[in-house]
A and B are shown apart, each in its own frame.
Chain A
């Protein structure tokens, strides 16, 4: 089981330590960790499990904050990783983001949360809904109150009733003035387009996000028109697994508020909404580059927030790039970012220019990979369709809303 949790800032400072068991872990292990990560660079930063001379370290890196858990004995590594991810999720939910200042400013809450989330190295309460009832998130009102009155308590003095119920994710009997439920299909499209323009792989990772404000203990049933296209699925604990097994129906008692009901994957898709055609030709210390962007299969909904990003190879000295639409920025990390926004009606956006290579280099040895970003509102490109949403146990019919959204995930075009 985990013996200690450390939170490190992006400069390697130990912001917080929480000892979990009797076997204390000295914080010098963080110094060791940081030295190693400086010495070994990125490949170490992404090692989720590290065997240090004295402990095994599990690492999760989120928005500049490094979460470390240490243990000396055998335990499922994913349990530690998953737990640290939950901690990161809960903290960023509570603090409205994650960074060094936020954690330092709210260190008491972080401590209180950690204390509720883990006991003796074993996760205790990780359900955000219950945590919210036990420890109040910091908000403007409580901040102002504390300034004015000097007294505030963010620790609830009663045990959330849900800890005892069979639906621990739901507050008991919440009273909502609004009686509504929104179901969103949020999809990310991953695609690989090879050098010769063929589609190597295209798949969609999607989530069914539900925002429910219903009173009482409602029982919902959601069914899809074409559930058979779903390749892989994962569910929120509230989903009853048997009905899905037999009929592919989602039957659940929803938590209150926003949550992720289900995630799924649809593989082997054939249609991509936009194309990006990079062309690079390189000789005599120069490289000419031109990139064309256009619609490939019209999703019949507007595509916006189109961006094309690529990393300039290290041997490029300078770049001169001009677009006929949108703006180009070259960041300090040699990332070149072309933001197009919406596709103009009259012309196909293109980017052209030249790269100057380092002295002595005749040709560009490696060509960059282009990352494409876009967003299509109002449609789930996987083609998944919701059939109907039924309610039981509700005094009045609530308002229902459905939406779809697709954006680019890892949408890469090789050159």
Chain B
């Protein structure tokens, strides 16, 4: 009893929270299923229904699947209680997709609610109905949306706009036009609240249909400040894109400043210092001294140039082409410019976005700043600085994103942020990432006047407890010291002190310090002799191998500088030789190098001493455990043999010559000036300000660069809108080919090339052209009619063969000789190619393909033989052998079932009785409980195994085949069954084959490409594997005249895939190239859809390599079902990689 009192504090606090929690839904969350929910749902009291629904919500919140209550919940849609309704909606939206049939039952109630007098009820009904996302009801939803788009209530109209993307997500082609029309209608709305939502709908439904904006541009700009904040974010982006597509870039803006920048720089008095800086090194683009002249905005021309190009083209495209800089620049010259001072449209855009810089929503501020950054005249950009800096105050999470953007702005125009350097001083609450960004910005924007204050700060940061950050600071100090020679000395002193005080635990700081010192010295070695000597002296105390290595490198590099170093050199070398054996590998390598260099630079009188040291060290190195060091020793010995071995007896003339050669060689190798890597600036990727891609530094799916300037040219938008609309949809087959015809020369050029090449198919192309062209489809069904493969050059040009628009330009570009022509057609193409998955082009093989032929393999189905697996071995089954093979037949009972061909064979001498396969009933563990409940509660559900009729009698060596229909609940786990035979049971396991969870989905190449384009990004998975089967096949097929290597490979692949997966072979494309052996570019496409939910699943195989070598295959799967797609991909890769049986 007293012990109970003992626990007072704890139980009291518990009790108090209990009191506090009374009346909340706490108990529902803690024990949602402590009562039976089902009867509550059917209760006639709203309060009980509410409670039941809350319990269900709690289960959903905790991640349980309670979709089995769906039918009962749906009934409650009819409830009059608004709370029950709300809860039902919440439940319904969570599960509707899973239970489409039952969800349909609710539609009538929604229809009724849509006519309710309460706008809230109407809005909720519309939101939920659209949220159900069923293809069947899409037309109904569309009608409802168009009705609600004219609703008197603003809220309902807003919800109608929000519903449009939901309908659009269903991707029903026939609705697209209607949806876009509704978007246009809602953009015309009077209420700013609706416009915001309509803008969001526009951005997700038809972001490229800018003609819709054209009609309302001015009005949209004017209402922008009144639109609610979330809509503003989206609308700003849309207006910016429109303005650029319609009017082009602003000639006073930063985007075009790089071209006339040189003029400005030379006109300014600053040109002297500017050039000096430039001579010193081109490596760091932060070198130019800003003269703090803000209105003139001294920009880093290269950076600005890259930034503006990346904005326009997307960095991936830009990077892949940046070598052809001359082509690009001429292309940029051809852009149309406009002036912010004369153009009313741009004026109004800037005018209406500038007050948004004061918004309390940080995303709005950043979006508005982005517009000004791109469009505003240079002298007005100043406007965005303070709002951006103020954004850093808003929350810790946004601070990082804002800094990411400021970083790019400041890199391009350091003078913009230079006066505000204090804002980038660290605050104690900053995370490491934020601090690192701030450091980088600080070292970018430092100026002559601010550098001293910044250094003061840096000195404090070096003492920061976060040593990684301290090391970064040291690096930043090094960077600044290189920019500002005046402070270099102070920096060196500080760094040296740091290096000598650094304790053992501070390896990274020390390393960074030495690295920075090395970089500073590298700019002016001769005046920093003392520093080098100081470092050499501290060698003894510095124990970090990499740091030692760097100091030793300096010994070698600067061995002939000044007066002191040559004097101490012999001692140093002796010291190094003494401690050589105890050094780490990297230090040893540096020691060897340094000795080599010293020898090379040494004067005649010291040569002998050094030579002795070096040969001693080489001897040591030759016995080293590490082979790198032994190699290096050997190499240096050879290279410097002339120096080492010159005291030997006299040599012949030939040797003398080779000595000269190696002397020169050694001079080159050791004396070569090392250029700092200048690739840094080019590898920097820039994405539009405020975008997600910019923060994660890769193009996120759906990222689009700015539209092509002035690509939107029309006189009367109302007439031309349809045409523009058509031309702007990427992946639209018709327009692609249309754009291709613009360029007839390159097409015909490649055609000619083809016919001249001695391609072995030349005959069959001509011969089968007549029949083959028309018979492609029939040849697939009539398997045996055409023994001969049919080849027809269906598409000579590339566009259709490659569904990925992004690389299509590159291809054309490389295929054609006449660049001038290309550039003229590029403007339209760049429109077409702004497809969201430009980031994935990298995975495309970059080989040059001029054209491809499409072949159909007619008789392939004859060779497809499903793989047979053993279910029961005769040894274990008393002579009964059971095999199964997955069948390509489809179950007539349910789409969830997979058909199997099971063959029972009696290998014994006695007859067998009562054979049957049944489900293993023992497994009723908890995990299956939910599914069992599902089965009992709803109709039309499917058991794991469709009961098979018993085989009464199986005679000796008799075989009976039976078709079995099985439902695998999981793609990977085997299904446990029990085999009854002669009254005995045998547990057996049926292993699922993911390849048979699909059924063939016949389609042609056009549909395939379209579907593929709809499944980009996250829905696309690729892997590579090596395929070798064809080699054996090629060796077998001896008749070279009849069988072509390509065909054999294609057949091998197709048979292998089709024998293991239930797919439809869509097409086989092969490259038409001059090289007979080169199978690269061979492309097979398969299509299928998932049995259970008819989600399409596309497989593409692309080959690389030559015919008689193992082929490298890129397997690509496009499927909306992520898990399935990945599993399938793995299965196909394993399948292809495993060698053929026999």
Interface centre among B29, B47, B130, B365 (most CB of A within 10 A): B29
| Closest CB in chain A relative to B478 CB, distance in Å | 21
Q: Are B54 and A54 in contact, with the CB atoms below 8 A? A: no
| Closest CB in chain B relative to A159 CB, distance in Å | 4
Partner of A48, one of B57, B165, B397: B397
For A267, give the chain B residue with the smallest CB separation. B422
Q: Are A48 and B61 in contact, with the CB atoms below 8 A? A: no
Q: Are B464 and A366 in contact, with the CB atoms below 8 A? A: yes
| A8-34 residues at the B interface, CB under 8 angstroms | 14-17, 19, 21-22, 24, 27
Residues on B with C-beta less than 8 A from A59 are 397
Contact A76:B233 (CB < 8 A) given known A108-B25, A164-B154, A234-B359: yes
* Cα(A146)–Cα(B62), bound, Å: 24
Q: Are A232 and B692 in contact, with the CB atoms below 8 A? A: no
For B51, give the chain A residue with the smallest CB separation. A150
For B505, give the chain A residue with the smallest CB separation. A365
Residues on B with C-beta less than 8 A from A108 are 25, 28, 54, 57, 87
Interface centre among B197, B365, B390 (most CB of A within 10 A): B390
Q: Are A115 and B401 in contact, with the CB atoms below 8 A? A: no
| Closest CB in chain A relative to B1090 CB, distance in Å | 16
Stretch at the interface among A118-126, A176-184, A210-218, A322-330: A118-126
Partner of A49, one of B87, B155, B401, B456: B401
| B34-90 residues at the A interface, CB under 8 angstroms | 46-47, 54, 57-58, 60-63, 81-83, 86-87, 89-90
Q: Are A111 and B427 in contact, with the CB atoms below 8 A? A: no
Q: Are B60 and A17 in contact, with the CB atoms below 8 A? A: yes
- Does residue B457 face the partner (Cβ distance < 8 Å to A)? yes
* Cα(A242)–Cα(B352), bound, Å: 10
Stretch at the interface among A77-85, A382-390, A393-401: A77-85
Q: Are B465 and A232 in contact, with the CB atoms below 8 A? A: no
Contact A104:B30 (CB < 8 A) given known A59-B397, A150-B47, A164-B153: yes
Partner of B701, one of A73, A109, A119: A73
* Cα(A61)–Cα(B429), bound, Å: 14
| B365-399 residues at the A interface, CB under 8 angstroms | 365-367, 386-387, 389-390, 393-398
Q: Are B153 and A241 in contact, with the CB atoms below 8 A? A: no
Stretch at the interface among B224-232, B606-614, B768-776: B224-232
A166-205 vs B, Cβ < 8 Å mask (1 yes, 0 no): 1010000000000000000000001010110000110001
| B672-713 residues at the A interface, CB under 8 angstroms | 690-693, 695-696, 698, 700-704
- Does residue B959 face the partner (Cβ distance < 8 Å to A)? no
Residues on B with C-beta less than 8 A from A158 are 118, 120
Residues on B with C-beta less than 8 A from A143 are 22-24
* Cα(A19)–Cα(B387), bound, Å: 34
Q: Are A78 and B60 in contact, with the CB atoms below 8 A? A: no
Residues on A with C-beta less than 8 A from B1041 are none
Chain B binding surface SS class: helix
* Cα(A163)–Cα(B123), bound, Å: 12
Residues on A with C-beta less than 8 A from B365 are 234
Residues on A with C-beta less than 8 A from B93 are 19
Q: Are A72 and B1017 in contact, with the CB atoms below 8 A? A: yes
* Cα(A195)–Cα(B595), bound, Å: 45
For B464, give the chain A residue with the smallest CB separation. A366
Contact A126:B230 (CB < 8 A) given known A77-B401, A151-B46, A163-B154: yes
- Does residue A371 face the partner (Cβ distance < 8 Å to B)? yes
Interface centre among B22, B23, B97, B191 (most CB of A within 10 A): B23
Q: Are A82 and B61 in contact, with the CB atoms below 8 A? A: no
* Cα(A47)–Cα(B361), bound, Å: 20
B89-112 vs A, Cβ < 8 Å mask (1 yes, 0 no): 110011001000000000000000
Q: Are B166 and A120 in contact, with the CB atoms below 8 A? A: yes
* Cα(A106)–Cα(B25), bound, Å: 6
Partner of B691, one of A17, A74, A236: A74
Residues on A with C-beta less than 8 A from B87 are 108
Residues on B with C-beta less than 8 A from A48 are 396-398, 400-401
Contact A122:B428 (CB < 8 A) given known A108-B54, A144-B23, A153-B82: no
Q: Are B367 and A76 in contact, with the CB atoms below 8 A? A: yes
Residues on B with C-beta less than 8 A from A24 are 97
Residues on A with C-beta less than 8 A from B401 are 48-49, 77-78, 81
- Does residue A391 face the partner (Cβ distance < 8 Å to B)? no
Residues on A with C-beta less than 8 A from B431 are 42-43, 45-47
Partner of B427, one of A235, A237, A265, A410: A410
For B397, give the chain A residue with the smallest CB separation. A48
Residues on B with C-beta less than 8 A from A101 are 17, 21, 26
Q: Are B153 and A76 in contact, with the CB atoms below 8 A? A: no
| A79-132 residues at the B interface, CB under 8 angstroms | 79, 81-85, 101, 104-109, 111-112, 115, 119-120, 122-124, 126
| A221-237 residues at the B interface, CB under 8 angstroms | 231-237
- Does residue A406 face the partner (Cβ distance < 8 Å to B)? no
For B426, give the chain A residue with the smallest CB separation. A192
Q: Are B463 and A122 in contact, with the CB atoms below 8 A? A: no
Contact A56:B25 (CB < 8 A) given known A101-B17, A159-B123, A201-B422: no
- Does residue B250 face the partner (Cβ distance < 8 Å to A)? no
Residues on B with C-beta less than 8 A from A195 are 460
Contact A60:B460 (CB < 8 A) given known A159-B120, A234-B390, A263-B360: no
Residues on B with C-beta less than 8 A from A268 are 422
- Does residue B503 face the partner (Cβ distance < 8 Å to A)? yes
For B506, give the chain A residue with the smallest CB separation. A365
Residues on B with C-beta less than 8 A from A49 are 400-401, 692, 695-696
Partner of A122, one of B130, B162, B358: B162
For A370, give the chain B residue with the smallest CB separation. B428
| Closest CB in chain A relative to B405 CB, distance in Å | 9
Partner of B229, one of A46, A107, A111, A237: A237
Q: Are A15 and B393 in contact, with the CB atoms below 8 A? A: no
* Cα(A265)–Cα(B358), bound, Å: 12
| B387-441 residues at the A interface, CB under 8 angstroms | 387, 389-390, 393-398, 400-402, 422, 425, 427-429, 431-434
Contact A200:B433 (CB < 8 A) given known A73-B702, A76-B363, A194-B460: no
- Does residue A339 face the partner (Cβ distance < 8 Å to B)? no
* Cα(A144)–Cα(B23), bound, Å: 6
Partner of B81, one of A104, A123, A153, A233: A153
- Does residue B1122 face the partner (Cβ distance < 8 Å to A)? yes
* Cα(A192)–Cα(B425), bound, Å: 9
Q: Are A78 and B456 in contact, with the CB atoms below 8 A? A: no
Partner of A235, one of B154, B360, B362, B393: B360
| B189-212 residues at the A interface, CB under 8 angstroms | 191-193, 197, 200, 204
| B147-162 residues at the A interface, CB under 8 angstroms | 153-155, 158-159, 162
A35-56 vs B, Cβ < 8 Å mask (1 yes, 0 no): 0000000110111110100111
- Does residue A251 face the partner (Cβ distance < 8 Å to B)? no
Contact A122:B197 (CB < 8 A) given known A15-B61, A49-B401, A163-B154: yes
Q: Are A159 and B119 in contact, with the CB atoms below 8 A? A: yes
Q: Are A78 and B94 in contact, with the CB atoms below 8 A? A: no
Q: Are A235 and B400 in contact, with the CB atoms below 8 A? A: no
Interface centre among A311, A366, A367 (most CB of B within 10 A): A366
Q: Which residues of B contact A (CB under 8 A)?
A: 17, 21-26, 28-30, 46-47, 54, 57-58, 60-63, 81-83, 86-87, 89-90, 93-94, 97, 118-120, 123, 127, 130-131, 133, 153-155, 158-159, 162-163, 165-166, 169, 191-193, 197, 200, 204, 225-226, 228-230, 233, 237, 355, 358-363, 365-367, 386-387, 389-390, 393-398, 400-402, 422, 425, 427-429, 431-434, 453, 456-457, 460, 463-465, 503, 506, 690-693, 695-696, 698, 700-704, 836, 1017-1018, 1122
5 contacts between A and B (CB under 8 A): A43-B431, A151-B46, A153-B82, A234-B360, A235-B358
Extra contacts, 17 of them, besides A51-B696, A111-B61, A158-B118 (Cβ < 8 A), are A17-B60, A43-B432, A59-B397, A78-B398, A105-B25, A111-B57, A112-B90, A120-B131, A150-B47, A164-B153, A232-B390, A244-B358, A260-B360, A263-B393, A268-B422, A366-B464, A410-B428
